[in-house]
Structure 1
Amino acid sequence: MKKFVASLGLFALSLSATGAYATPEPWQARFQAAATPIMEEIIWFEQYTLWFITPITLLVMALLAWCIYRYRASANPVPSRTSHNTLIEVLWTVGPVIVLLFLAVPSFQLLTSQYTPEEEPAMTIKATGVQWYWDFEYQDEENPLSFTSLLLQEGDRAAAGKENLEQYPRLLAVDNEVVVPVDTTVRVLVTASDVIHAFAMPPFGIKVDAVPGRINETWFKAEREGLYYGQCSELCGKDHAFMPIAIRVVSQDRFQTWYAAAQDDLEGANRALLAALENGGSEETVASAAE
């Protein structure tokens, strides 16, 4: 028993050092765990609607079964010719109106939240979909940063230090992750350079079309550190399945250190950040490793 408790403690320490990571699971039927307030609202709304959808579905199935059994030809050789019933007309008109009102109010509240950040975004990132990868640009007037994020090839895992398939899954891991600070409102400007793509990050509750010649806007505020995965969600060509999105959420200090190092050496900054997270190192460790 003591060994089991100790192993749990070591597991918890490893999670605290490396951070969580959200990936889809085989045969997953529900949403991924929420990392933002918007996704928490989406999960709540989905559970809320089930309280209406489930009894309505059961009622319709029961009525169909009753009609099939009660009014079958053998039991009811002379069909009813009733053409109007005031009570039934009122019930099937007023009932759906009431249900729709109960669904519409929280639905519009959620829609408003998705388009209205609670605070002015602290940073802006432009995401450009390309056949078949993503370009990212941190729109900082003083210290801009841009890079390409490509699907991590299997042969490059060792060099990138991303051999753990649980944390860096096949077809989801990338060479350069988007790094953002935790508890920070981030504006994302989404566009495309060739065909229509879609920027989707399920743990954040965002999905926006990337349309050539047009900029769509969304936002998120990640409340938990970790590595989160999304994908292009608009059929965009033969390699549509191979343009994942990876966003790493870190502390404010680690983000500032990574961002400063990435200005001169993005690969080194990524390697240093990864080493610091895996080893539980400090921000100074990130800076020294980047150098």
Structure 2
Amino acid sequence: MNRAYAVMTGLICLLFASAGYADQPRPWQINFQDAATPIMHQITWFNHYTLWFIVPVTLLVLALLVVVALKFRASVNPVPSRTSHNTVIEIVWTIAPVLILFFLAIPSFNLLNAQLEIPDSDMTVKATATQWQWNYEYEGTPAPVAFDSFLLKDGDRAAAGKTDIARFPRLLAVDNELIIPVGKTVRVLVTAAPSDVIHAFAMPAFGIKIDAVPGRLNETWFKAEKEGMYYGQCSELCGKDHAFMPIAIHVVSEDKYKAWLAQAATDLPGAYKTLVADAGKPADGVAVAANVSK
């Protein structure tokens, strides 16, 4: 009985870890990815909030079009109306949009302010884009840590220990993920290499998307609430391999982050192999249930 209970508990933990502790695009997905930061929670709320305005307005316009098409068609209304204006209607269709825009503007301004106002950060990472990969540099660390992050090729999966397509999806997995501790406010400096083109650093589950412009330093921030592997992509058309420039952020516990950071300063491949070996454990919650196109 105890063994059966333990097995059932383990399966339940794996199920919820798959659904809630990592995210990536899913087949036939129409909603946002699950929110993993406070900003993304606000974005999700604002999306649902705006639907309470968009849906009624769309249905009202559709109903008016149907009424006009049926009631005022030539066969039942051979003599068209010569009405030039209606004061009540004109007041209504002026005031109503103003009120709707007012109720949309206030929460949208609050959301923009939360996105653009960088809070006191626990750590800073610089992300530099080039055609077609990302370079990450940790600032203020005891030892310098910087590395390139390329799309993981199918032939390199076995050597990297990333053969699980569900956990490391094709065309989204990378050779070196950005490693971040959970619950820490991370300031991200985003730019592109000189003489390169404009890219964009985007992570849907975190609610961030900011341009990487050559010669310009932009900044954004996030605070990951849950451990796991999260995937994004360059979201600015940047050339022939634009579709093969993924972003992978691995959120881990603070202890694992400190251990990785210390090892990465002298042995970057070994540091990643240690994390990959731990990724399959239920406590890490990295595995995801869905898969992307193969």
| Partner Cα separation in structure 2 for residue 96 and residue 10 of structure 1 | 53
Q: Is the 8 A contact 2:13 2:282 kept in 1?
A: no
Task: Give the CA deviation at 1:12.
Answer: 3.9
Alignment match, 1:110: 111
Structure 2 equivalent of residue 127 of structure 1: 127
Q: In the alignment, what sits opposite 1:184?
A: 184
* Offset from partner CA, 1:101-123 (integer Å, 9 cap, x none): 11001000001111124x41111
Shift in Å, 1:141? 5.8
Amino acid at match of 2:68: C
Deviation at 1:7, TM superposition (A): 5.1
Structure 1 residues 75 and 6 mapped into 2: Cα distance closer, same or farther (>3 Å)?
farther
8 Å Cα contact 1:230-1:244 kept in structure 2: yes
Q: 1:243 aligns with which of 218, 242, 245?
A: 245
Relative to structure 1, the CA distance from residue 249 to residue 141 in structure 2 (aligned partners, 3 Å threshold; closer, same or farther) is closer
Note the C-alpha offset of 1:75.
Answer: 1.0
Q: 1:8 to 1:59 in 2, by over 3 A?
A: farther
Match of 1:110, SS state, is helix
Question: Residue 291 of structure 2 aligns with which residue?
Answer: none
Q: Are 1:266 and 2:268 matched, yes or no?
A: yes
TM-score normalised over the length of structure 1:
0.91
2:74 matches 1:73 = yes
SS at structure 1 position matched to 2:22: strand
Q: Percent identity?
A: 60
Aligned partners of 2:261, 2:122: CA distance in 1, in Å? 15
Q: Kindly tell me the number of residue pairs found equivalent between the two proteins.
A: 281
Residues 200 and 231 in structure 1, CA contact (< 8 A), matched pair in contact too: yes
Unaligned runs of 5+ in 1: 283-291
Q: 1:75 to 1:168 in 2, by over 3 A?
A: same
**Closer/same/farther in 2, CA of residues 81 and 212 from structure 1, 3 Å limit:** same
Alpha carbons 1:231, 1:243 under 8 Å: kept: yes
Q: 1:69 to 1:184 in 2, by over 3 A?
A: same
Q: Structure 2 CA distance, aligned partners of 1:264 and 1:161?
A: 20
Counterparts in 2 of 1:8 and 1:244: CA distance versus 1, 3 Å:
farther
- Describe the shift of the 1:16–1:58 C-alpha distance in structure 2 as closer, same or farther (beyond 3 A): closer
**AA at the equivalent of 1:35:** A
CA–CA separation in structure 1 for the residues paired with 2:123 and 2:167: 27
The aligned residue for residue 29 of structure 1 is 30
Looking at structure 2, the residues matched to 234 and 8 of structure 1 have their Cα atoms a distance apart, in angstroms, of 45
State the Cα distance separating 1:8 from its structure 2 match.
Answer: 4.3
Q: Deviations over 1:105-148 (max 9, x none)?
A: 1000001111124x411111111111011111111264221100
Q: How does 1:1-291 map to 2 (within 5 A)?
A: 8-14=8-14, 20-117=21-118, 119-140=119-140, 142-193=142-193, 194-279=196-281
Deviations 1:191-249 (A, max 9, x none): 11100111000000000011111111100000000000000011101100001000000
User: For structure 2, which runs of at least 5 residues remain unmatched after alignment?
Assistant: 285-294
Shift of 1:273: 1.8
SS at match of 2:108: helix
Between the aligned partners of 2:79 and 2:13, the Cα distance in structure 1 is: 75
Query: Counterpart amino acid of 1:201?
Result: M
Distance 2:283 2:75 in 1: 79
For 1:73 and 1:280, the matched residues in 2 are separated by 69
Distance apart, 1:276 and its partner CA: 2.7
Hey, what's the Cα distance between the residues in 1 that align with 2:204 and 2:179? Answer: 17
Separation of aligned partners in 1, 2:138 and 2:93? 53
CA distance in 2, matches of 1:138, 1:175: 17
Deviation, 1:274, is 1.9
Change (3 A) 1:60 1:143: same
Counterpart of 1:285? none
Q: In structure 1, what is the Cα distance between the partners aligned to 2:116 and 2:128?
A: 20
Distance 2:168 2:21 in 1: 12
